[in-house]
């Protein structure tokens, strides 16, 4: 059992002698804190104080710090205090753990304008690094895709089918529902506004062109970015945290071939099919509202739709879909492989993946819109 820490007080005139004894170690628990505070109280008001360690049997660094703290507090209170009869090992501990007064660092003077400039500069540099990383990752992905095409017997078809089901088949209900509702809303708003001009039938033109060229593929891509893009990031990030990707490299397998390529191909194949279903759901939603809200029969709606759109209108959305799928897959995989070893990093990268994917999907859609307008397609 450790000897209980304590001290005895001897007073000689204006000098107070504090004779410490027992084990001043962590094993003594909270008693040391109380003993240290009692030291300060016992010597308060004296001209000089001597802390005698002759009878201290054991002492560790933390308790040496408490003793030296008591000495320093007494000095600050105007008491001439010192430590006496310390053995060499105790002197070493006291020197290593002596009390230090730390002045809080002064906060740097900041100017809001320069802080804003610094934030803007950091954002620009970060965006440039992300762009360069993305270009490099795109090159790796293209090489991996070409390698899979050159050696199809090594390609993991089971993984492709699994991800087709995960990204494609399981997304069908929510894709159909969202695009059906959007088709209904577009039709209702179009008919409501065009009714002032007696041109309700032209709402069919707006529904067909807007759904087939823009809304179908854009909404589908955004849904896939939020659903499948985040799933890719979370899966790869979890594997990175558990060092499964490092294990693949040790076994001589390329993570790009095993993990990234099947997911990219699954997205590139699934998104055009989902876009087709989204287009049909959106047009059907517009037909239902036009029939119930404006009294346009299905036959009249379809006749008007055939005159308003052409095959190129239908193909515009399908042409965009594989490129948007490639962007979603690349960003999801890149952010997943950038995860560090903490859950906080995983959450941050998943959020970044969704935000970047949706942003880039809209950018790609805008670029395609300008391209098709330039070639009048």
Q: What is the pLDDT of residues 64-100, one digit of tens each?
A: 777 777 777 777 777 777 777 777 777 777 777 776 6
Q: Is residue 269 located within the same domain as residue 208?
A: yes
> How confident is the model at residue 20, as a pLDDT?
75
> How confident is the model at residue 357, as a pLDDT?
93
- The reported pTM is 0.69
Residue 112 lies in a domain: no
Give dist(CA 289, CA 295) in Å, integer. 9
> How confident is the model at residue 114, as a pLDDT?
80
> How confident is the model at residue 13, as a pLDDT?
67
Q: Identify the domain boundary among 58, 79, 96.
A: 96
What tens digit of pLDDT does each residue of 37-56 get? 666 666 666 667 777 777 77
For the chain, residues with pLDDT lower than 70 are 1-7, 13-14, 27-47, 99-108, 110
Q: Three-class SS of residue 29?
A: coil
Identify the CATH number of the domain in which residue 16 sits: 3.30.750.24
Q: Identify the domain boundary among 96, 123, 158.
A: 96
Give dist(CA 150, CA 138) in Å, integer. 18
Q: Is residue 250 located within the same domain as residue 359?
A: yes
Residue 107 lies in a domain: no
Residue 117 lies in a domain: no
Q: Is residue 190 located within the same domain as residue 301?
A: yes
Residue 301 lies in a domain: yes
Contact 290, 203 (CB under 8 A): yes
Q: Is residue 90 located within the same domain as residue 154?
A: no
> How confident is the model at residue 266, as a pLDDT?
93
**Number of separate helices (H) and strands (E) present in the chain:** 15, 4
Residue 101 lies in a domain: no
Number of domains in the chain: 2
Domain assignment of residue 208, given as a range = 143-374
Q: Is residue 88 located within the same domain as residue 201?
A: no
Residue 25 lies in a domain: yes
Q: Is residue 165 located within the same domain as residue 303?
A: yes
Contact 56, 90 (CB under 8 A): yes
Residue 169 lies in a domain: yes
> How confident is the model at residue 30, as a pLDDT?
60
Q: Is residue 361 located within the same domain as residue 224?
A: yes
Q: Which two tokens stand for residue 79?
A: 């008491």
Q: Is residue 30 located within the same domain as residue 157?
A: no
Give dist(CA 82, CA 73) in Å, integer. 12
Q: Is residue 179 located within the same domain as residue 301?
A: yes
Q: Is residue 212 located within the same domain as residue 75?
A: no
> How confident is the model at residue 263, as a pLDDT?
92
Q: Identify the domain boundary among 96, 112, 135.
A: 96
What tens digit of pLDDT does each residue of 203-256 get? 899 999 999 999 999 999 999 999 999 999 999 999 988 888 889 888 988 888
Q: Is residue 41 located within the same domain as residue 181?
A: no
With 0-12 / 13-18 / 19 or more C-beta atoms within 10 angstroms meaning exposed / middle / buried, residue 185 is middle
Q: Is residue 20 located within the same domain as residue 154?
A: no
Residue 347 lies in a domain: yes
DSSP structural state of residue 215: I
């Amino acid at each position: 059992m450790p000897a209980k820490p304590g001290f005895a007080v001897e007073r000689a005139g204006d000098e107070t002698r504090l004779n410490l004894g027992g084990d001043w170690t962590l094993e003594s628990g909270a008693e040391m804190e109380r003993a240290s505070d009692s030291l300060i109280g016992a010597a308060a008001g004296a001209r000089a104080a001597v802390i005698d360690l002759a009878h201290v049997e054991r002492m560790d660094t933390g308790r040496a710090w408490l003793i030296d703290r008591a000495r320093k507090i007494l000095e600050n209170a105007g008491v001439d205090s010192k430590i006496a009869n310390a053995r060499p090992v105790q002197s070493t501990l006291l020197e290593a753990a002596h009390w230090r007064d730390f002045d809080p660092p002064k906060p740097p003077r900041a100017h809001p304008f320069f802080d804003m400039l610094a934030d803007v500069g950091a954002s620009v540099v970060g965006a440039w690094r992300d762009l360069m990383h993305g270009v490099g990752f795109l090159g790796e992905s293209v090489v991996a895709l070409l390698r899979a095409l050159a050696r199809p017997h090594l390609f993991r078809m089971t993984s492709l089918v699994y991800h087709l089901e995960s990204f494609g088949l399981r997304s069908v209900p929510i894709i159909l529902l969202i695009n059906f509702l959007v088709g209904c809303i577009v039709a209702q708003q179009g008919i409501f506004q065009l009714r002032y001009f007696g041109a309700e039938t032209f709402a069919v033109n707006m529904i067909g062109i807007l759904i087939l060229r823009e809304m179908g593929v854009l909404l589908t891509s955004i849904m896939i970015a939020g659903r499948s893009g985040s799933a890719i990031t979370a899966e790869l990030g979890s594997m990175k945290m558990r060092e499964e990707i490092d294990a693949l490299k040790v076994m001589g397998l390329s993570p790009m071939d095993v993990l990234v390529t099947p997911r990219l191909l699954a997205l590139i194949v699934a998104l055009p099919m989902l876009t087709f279903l989204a287009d049909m759901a959106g047009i059907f939603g517009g037909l239902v509202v036009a029939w119930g809200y404006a009294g346009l029969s299905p036959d009249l709606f379809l006749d008007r739709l055939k005159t308003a759109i052409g095959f190129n209108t239908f193909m515009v959305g399908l042409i965009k879909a594989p490129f948007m799928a490639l962007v979603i897959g690349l960003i999801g995989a890149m952010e997943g492989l950038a995860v560090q070893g903490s859950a906080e990093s995983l959450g941050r990268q998943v959020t970044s993946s969704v935000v970047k994917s949706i942003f880039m999907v809209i950018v790609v859609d805008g670029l395609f819109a300008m391209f098709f307008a330039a070639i009048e397609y």
